[in-house]
């Protein structure tokens, strides 16, 4: 099965949301194959369907001072942060071509990043009742999805070289007793985003049984 991987670089969150909507409509119509959008965002906090506004610990004025935006979304989960140095992925997959099983899809996403972590010599794991990929008590990869007519959107946020200080202004994913981490923190060195992206693509191919078609894109020059 073919998966088209589109790599965009840094994209504003609102524009990436519109891009997802476009790809979802195309996937539902069968106009495009399963598609994985890989990108980074400028500083932004996003609220999932189950988010509590009090989990944002700063005022609107402080938010502006941080240079961050705030968006409400239709994904699952609570509040999270996206920013430069974080690999964000939006899988636009038709689960009728895989398995009509949301739990299976989430476990498969986790399996991708358990494999990526192993590539970097990190022993990551699942945590019961808390979607994502964890190293001890700290989340390395956050996940939240939306599924309509079995087509997925939203996805994952993989902390590669993320400035973890931005997580101090929220209760990440609504979990007060958990922390966050990054590849750079765990390894004690920066990691090239290209390497993290390629390993992610490789494990998507393995876990989902994909043949990968790579496409470097810009938002202005959508294909």
Residue 168 DSSP label: G
pLDDT score for 175: 72
H-helix segments, 87-192? 102-119, 183-187
Task: Report the alpha-carbon distance of residue 147 to residue 99 in Å, rounded.
Answer: 13
Provide CATH code, domain 2-216.
3.30.930.10
* In the block, residue with structure tokens 């007519």: 149
Task: Report the alpha-carbon distance of residue 67 to residue 86 in Å, rounded.
Answer: 16
Counting DSSP H helices and E strands in the chain, the numbers are 5, 12
pLDDT score for 127: 92
Listed by start position, the domains of the chain span 2-216
Task: Report the alpha-carbon distance of residue 84 to residue 10 in Å, rounded.
Answer: 8
In tens digits, the chain (223 residues) has pLDDT values of 999 999 999 999 999 999 999 999 999 999 999 999 999 999 999 998 888 888 989 898 999 999 999 999 988 888 899 999 999 999 999 999 999 999 999 999 999 999 999 999 999 999 988 899 999 999 999 999 999 999 999 999 999 999 999 999 988 777 777 899 999 999 999 999 999 999 999 999 999 999 999 987 766 544 4
Residue 21 DSSP label: H
What is the model's pTM? 0.93
Specify whether the CB–CB gap between 7 and 214 falls below 8 A.
Answer: yes
Task: Supply the residues annotated as catalytic.
Answer: 173
pLDDT score for 77: 81
pLDDT score for 220: 53
């Amino acid at each position: 099965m073919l998966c088209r991987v589109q790599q965009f670089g840094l994209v504003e969150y609102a524009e990436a949301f519109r891009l997802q909507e476009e790809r979802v409509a195309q996937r539902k119509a069968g106009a495009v194959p399963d598609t994985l959008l890989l990108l980074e965002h400028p500083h932004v906090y996003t609220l999932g369907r189950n988010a509590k506004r009090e989990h944002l610990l700063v005022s609107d004025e402080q938010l502006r001072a941080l240079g961050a935006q705030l968006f409400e979304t239709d994904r699952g989960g609570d509040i999270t942060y996206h920013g430069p140095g974080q690999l964000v992925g939006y899988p636009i997959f038709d689960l009728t071509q895989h398995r009509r099983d949301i739990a299976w899809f989430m476990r498969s996403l986790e399996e991708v990043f358990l494999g990526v972590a192993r590539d970097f010599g990190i022993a990551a794991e699942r945590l019961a009742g808390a979607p994502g990929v964890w190293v001890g008590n700290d989340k390395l990869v956050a996940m939240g999805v939306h599924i309509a007519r079995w087509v997925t959107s939203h996805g994952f946020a993989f902390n590669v070289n993320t400035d973890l200080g931005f997580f101090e202004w929220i209760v990440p994913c609504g979990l007060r007793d958990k922390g966050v981490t990054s590849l750079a923190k765990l390894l004690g060195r920066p990691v090239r985003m290209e390497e993290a992206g390629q390993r992610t693509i490789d494990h998507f191919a393995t876990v989902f049984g994909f043949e990968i078609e790579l496409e470097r894109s810009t938002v202005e020059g959508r294909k």
